[in-house]
Structure formats: structure tokens, C-alpha cells
Amino acid sequence: MADLASSLASSLLKKLGSLVYQELYLAWGVQSDLHKLESTISILKIVLLDAEDKQANNPMLSIWLGRLKNMLYVAEDVVDELEYEALRKQAITTYGSAMAKVCHFFCSFMALSSRLKLAHKIKDIRERLDEINADKVQFNLTERHEEVHVNPLWREKTHSFIDPSTVFGRDGDKEEIKKSLMHPNPTRNLNIIAIVGLGGMGKTTLAKVVYNDESVVKHFQLRMWVCVPENFNVTRLVKDILKSAGGRVDKNSKGLSKEESLSLFVKCAFKEGEDKLYPNLLPIADEIVKKCKGVPLALKSLGGLLYSKVDESEWELVRGNEIWELEENEGGILPALQLSYNQMPIHLKRCFAYCVNFPKDYDFSNILLIEQWVAHGLIIQMSPNKKQELEDIGELYIKELMSICFFQLDLQENLFGMYSFKMHDLVHDLVLSIGHEEWSEIDSDNKDMASTVRHLSISSSSQQVSKFSNKLTNVRSIMYRNEPHVSSVEACISRFKSLRLLTIPYSDFENLPSSIGTQKHLRYLGLSLNQSIKKLPNSICKLHNLQTLLLDGCRDLERLPKDMRNMINLRFLTISTKDTCLFVNGVCCFNSLQILWVVECPRLECLLPQMDRCLTNLRMLVFVECESLTSLPPIIKHLKALESLYICDCEEIDLTGGGGGDAQDLNLRLQILYITNLPKLEILPEWLLGSANTLKHLHIEQCENLKALPEWLPTLKSLQTLEIIECNELSSLPEGIRHMKTLRKLVIIPEL
């Protein structure tokens, strides 16, 4: 991933130029050196786009970019140390005890040696970057600038399981498979239909179309979808296999026809009917289609890449690109995908390349992937004048990658703001070819490992980790794939001090090592599903940079650390605990928090204290399986940024409290209310009227005592979706509901 140095340089320059840190630089006596460092990086950055384009044909240039990138990572660590000190000072000043403030006062006088050490480190970085800058003259690089943008004209892609109209040229195959499925040979006990074809030909798409066909759904009482990876376990339960196009396949012909290929490409590259406005582009489209050789994945990827682009030169750049001359892999699919990648803006390239950390057929979650991008500083604010949350920008990145088929939506269900998606195997091959130098997996088969590795997946013993740890100097992320031993975790925490991300799921140890508090760069800590862990060390509260902390599924966790309010940078927090009350020391430190999930807390009775000006940026609040929680916290009336509220399987909760005062004067911004299995719910709470102008989606399920919907329900001016499922005591709807102009979807099961 050496071709991403320009993005890293941009991120570093943004930090160096931030007014927030200028006072800190001055206080530490490093302002002059950092200004010189900023100047050197700025000079280098303007030629990086040209260097990245030329490096494929110039090995020495590629090595030069690698040297530069290594130094930029070192520089980023130094700047982040300063950022950590600023956050530490803020936490101590705001929430520290008298003793902590006294200690901080004296430590500030005793830090002279640390400051001198830091100044020498910055000077060394600057001198080495000056050398790298001087070496660039031999490559004859030209200045180029790229505008950072996210395509505003992105439109949501349809997928085979939702809209079969996007599938071309497979009607005959579909009907043949349906016939074989619904009218099997009576002499056979088991009928197997094999769908055979080259990678990217649409085998899975065809299978999904058949699987979701209305007549197939009605015909079979039970359907199962099972994905079988290349390295499958033969004992794994497989109930149904769906693979494509009955009979033998000629390797040189099962692709789409020329007409079908052109139709698919045009559908992806233009808005409906828009192709007729640009007849000059159609001959170019015809030649691009020929190069794709009937492979749907290539056609959709390049079509999505050119969507909304009507400049003839951009189309000619794709048609005449030298990438088509490379050795073809599986019918030319890899060159087509490589071309799509090459045409990506820099910010998308870096986010896509990060996905090398995940195995084939991995189920991505939008929220978790976005927070990992945030942890590594991969998401860039598009405009300094328009404040956008990083999570919203990340959603746009995912949609852009979906529009060129690098991500493919996997499940329709969107619960708690989460949806899943996958990469096609050939797209995964592409990301491996891009990121193999920076990612590696430690397993029992490892024989060697490159020093350039910055992202580790670990599925072996602590001995294997120790074997390679001395060779690796700048590891940024570690993901455990198995149940790690505590000694392995301790070894990683002790050795790797530049970690931004650490995930340790399914462990069997009861206590997280206290040394976790030394990871001052850490942004993302995943401890989900550690069912044995009982305590978190209070040292974890020193992680002032931490943005994501995942504790869901930690059912034996006795309580949260007492100084947790010092974690002032948290954006996403999930909690499972046996405690009865959370955040007893206050939560004013959580004003950066965007998402809070409280799940599997059976003893929880109290969530938040009665405090104003808390959680001021909270956008999503989730309660699941909190059986002892009797009411929403009073603070909810102050959550003016709250957009989504999910309450599920909370048997004792009464929603009628929590708002207080005149409901219509609350001015809440709630857009989604999702409630299910609340036995004590008899009527919707009046505080919901505070969101009368913003509520778009209302879902009520398995509320057995809900007897009526309020007459004020039709006054919800923005309501688009109303779903009422298995609320058996409900016998009618408010009279005015038929006059709601915004309502687009009404689902009532069973019908009233």
C-alpha cells in the first residue's frame, strides 16, 4: 500500500496545521521544528500523486515512496503523542482529583527531559525527510493536486435479492433451475444442481434470484442459504447448495452476450434514459464492454465508476488504459477491477486497501468498519466550512464502494443502524494484491514476515507472536481470530506501542492486563463476547485517545472502571455488565459519544444520573435485554442530537416517563423509534410528540398489551414507515392515519 503516501501526508498536514495544537506545540518548545516539518511534508505532497502513478514502472521510485511512507508514520506517532498529552491535560483539569492536579502540576516541571527527547526526535524526522525530499529530483516528478470529494450523485445500487430487474440474460437459466427444483426427479433421494462458470460471471447472483423468487418461496416450507468457503470443514452442516446454470459450461462462452453486456453497462453508467443524451459516449462504451468479455462484475464495476461522468476524455481514459494490456486473470476480470481501483480518489483507495485485514467471505458491518477507518484516520472531512460527522462520511464511502461493486450488500435487514455486506472473491484478490506488503497473519505455518507489516491477524500461540515481534517496528492494528491466551495479549501490548486498533474477542481470561493503559495511541478496543472477563483495570481510563470501546457480550463483567469519565474521546460504546447502575461518577466526559449500546444487562436499574449538558452529541441509543430497567433516564429530554432509539426485550420498562414537561416543547430530533417485546407498553409515550417534525420510522413489535395508538399519531409530519407486528391487543388505527401525506409504508401483522 505504498501508493497511499499522499493520503497519509494530507492527514498529517491537517494535524500539524490545526490551531488546536499550536498552543501545545509552543508550550513544549517544539513549534519551530514542527513548522519546518510541515513545510517539508507540504513540498513532498504536491508530487506524490504523480509518483504514485509512475511507481508501477519504476522500482526505485516505489522504494522511495516506501521510505517516505515509513517516515510519515513515525512523524504521525510523534504528533499523536502531543495530541494525547493535550487530551490528558483536559481530562485531569476537568475531572481529576485534587491529588491528580497537584501531581500533574509537578510533572509538568519534571518533563524537561521528555521535551528534549521529543525535540530531538522531531529534528531527526525532519532531517531524514529532508534527505528523502532531496532524492526526489532523480525521478523528474511533476506537481499535481487532487480535490477530495465524495460523489454527490451516488445512487443506491439494487441487488439481485431485492430487484431481479438488474439481472441480465439469465431468464432461461433461472426458469430451468426453478423447474429442476420444483419438479425433481422422483427416482432420486437427493437432487443437486451445479452452477458452473468463471469468477464474476454471476453464479451467486443467479442463485440469489432463484432463492428469492416468489414461486420458490411459496413452494418450499424451509429454505436455507449456506456459503461454502474454499477451505471448508467437511463436518460443517450444509442443508442446501445453490450454485449455477445446469449442464456443462464452455469456458470461452457462459459470459453475457454483447447485447446483454451493453445493457448492463449502460444501466450502471447512466441514469435511466440519460444514455440517449450522450450518443458520443456509446461507441466508447461498446469498446469498454468488449474488454470486459461478458463478465457482469467487471461491467458493473466500470459502469459504476463512470456513473455521472459525461466528459468524453474520462471515458477514453478507461478505454485506452494500459492496464488492459496486462496478463489476464480469469477472463480479464482482474485488469477491469484494477482499473476501477486506479481511478478511485485517494481517500477511497486507502479505505479500500484497509480491508486486506479481513478474510474472504467476511461479513462486514458498516458501523464497525467505519469506526475502524476512523481509528486509523482514514476518513477525511470534505469541506472545512461544512461540519459533517465522520460516521456520515464513512457511510458515503461505503456507498461509493458499493456503486462500483467492490462491496456487495448481503442482508436486507438494517437493525440498530447496522447492515452487512461482503466482497466478491475476485475483489478480495485485488485488495490482497494491493495490501499484501502491510498485512500478515501469524499462524502455525508462518516461516517469515516482512518488516513493512503494519496490520496483524493472529491465530496462533504466544510463541509465534514472540518469534516475529522483534522484526516488526510499527504495527498499527492487531486482530485476534481465535481464543487468545492472556500471555499472547500481554506480549502484544508490551511490544507494540503504536497500536490504533486491538480486537480480542472470545477470550477466556478474567482480567484484562493493566498494561493496556500504556497504549496511548489506541483508538479502537474490541472486547466483545469475552464471557469470562470480570474486571477492567482502571488503567484503561488512561486511554484518552480511545474512540471505540466494545464490551457487548461481556456478561460476567462486574462493573465499569470508576474513572471511565476520563475517556473523553469516546465515540462508540457498547456495554454488557452485571452492575445495577452505570456511570455513577458522571458522564460529562462523554460529550464526544455518538453511539451507545446497553445490551444484556439483566440487573441494570439505573443508567444515567440526573445531569444536564451530558451526551450532547449522542445520535443513537440502544437498550437490549435489560430486564430490570424500569424507565428511560430523565436525561433523555436533553438529548437534542438523538436520532435513533432502539428498545428491545426490556420486560419492566415503562416508556411513559422520561420526558417531563410539555412533550411538544421538547424539540427532540428523533428519526427512528424501534421497540419490541415490551410487555408494559400500553400506549405510546407523549414525549414522542417532541419529535413530531422529524420522526420517519416507527416500528412496534410483540407489545402484547398495546391496546390503542394515540389519536395524535397522524400529527407526526415526517412519518414514512409504520410497522406494527404481533401486537394482538391492538384492534384499530387512528382515524386520521389515512390522510398522512408522508406515509409510504404501512405494515400490520396480523391485519386488523
pLDDT band at 230 (very low <50, low <70, confident <90, very high): low
What is the SS3 assignment for 335-392? HHHHHHHHCCCHHHHHHHHHHHHCCCCCCEEHHHHHHHHHHCCCCCCCCCCCCCCHHH
490/483 Cα distance (integer angstroms)? 14
Where is average pLDDT lowest: 316-325, 502-511, 662-671, 693-702? 662-671
Q: What percent of the chain has pLDDT over 70?
A: 82
Contact between residue 600 and residue 553 where contact means Cβ atoms under 8 Å apart: yes
Mean of pLDDT over the chain: 83
Task: Give the model's pLDDT for residue 702.
Answer: 95
Task: Give the model's pLDDT for residue 616.
Answer: 87
pLDDT band at 158 (very low <50, low <70, confident <90, very high): very low
**Report for 436-445, 455-464, 479-488, 697-706: range of highest mean pLDDT:** 697-706
The yes-or-no verdict on residue 403 having pLDDT over 80 is yes
Contact between residue 601 and residue 576 where contact means Cβ atoms under 8 Å apart: yes
* Per-residue pLDDT reduced to its tens digit, 56-115: 789 999 999 999 999 999 999 998 888 888 888 888 877 665 445 445 444 454 356 677
The yes-or-no verdict on residue 567 having pLDDT over 80 is yes
* Per-residue pLDDT reduced to its tens digit, 372-401: 999 999 998 766 666 789 999 999 999 999
Q: Where are the alpha helices (DSSP H) in 240-281?
A: 258-269
* Per-residue pLDDT reduced to its tens digit, 666-689: 678 899 999 999 999 999 988 898
pLDDT band at 496 (very low <50, low <70, confident <90, very high): very high
**Report for 234-243, 267-276, 345-354, 520-529: range of highest mean pLDDT:** 520-529
Task: Give the model's pLDDT for residue 19.
Answer: 57
Task: Give the model's pLDDT for residue 237.
Answer: 44
pLDDT band at 658 (very low <50, low <70, confident <90, very high): low
* Per-residue pLDDT reduced to its tens digit, 293-318: 888 999 999 999 999 899 999 999 89
431/354 Cα distance (integer angstroms)? 8
* Per-residue pLDDT reduced to its tens digit, 617-642: 999 999 999 999 998 887 787 888 99
Residues 505-523 have a mean pLDDT of 92
Query: What would you measure as the largest C-alpha separation in the chain, in angstroms?
Result: 88
Residues 323-347 have a mean pLDDT of 74
Contact between residue 125 and residue 30 where contact means Cβ atoms under 8 Å apart: no
Task: Give the model's pLDDT for residue 153.
Answer: 40
Residues 2-29 have a mean pLDDT of 74
Contact between residue 452 and residue 66 where contact means Cβ atoms under 8 Å apart: yes
pLDDT band at 462 (very low <50, low <70, confident <90, very high): low
Burial class (CB in 10 A: 0-12, 13-18, 19+), 145: exposed
**Report for 220-224, 437-441, 592-596: range of highest mean pLDDT:** 592-596
Residues 491-504 have a mean pLDDT of 93
- In sequence order, the 6+-apart residues with CB closer than 8 A to the CB of 739 are 714
Where is average pLDDT lowest: 212-216, 618-622, 702-706? 212-216
The yes-or-no verdict on residue 696 having pLDDT over 50 is yes
Q: If phi over 0 gives left and psi between -120 and 50 gives alpha, with beta otherwise, what is residue 116? A: alpha
Where is average pLDDT lowest: 112-116, 227-231, 651-655, 678-682? 227-231
Task: Give the model's pLDDT for residue 101.
Answer: 45
Q: What percent of the chain has pLDDT over 90?
A: 45
Whether the link from the prior residue into 184 is cis, omega within 30° of 0, is no
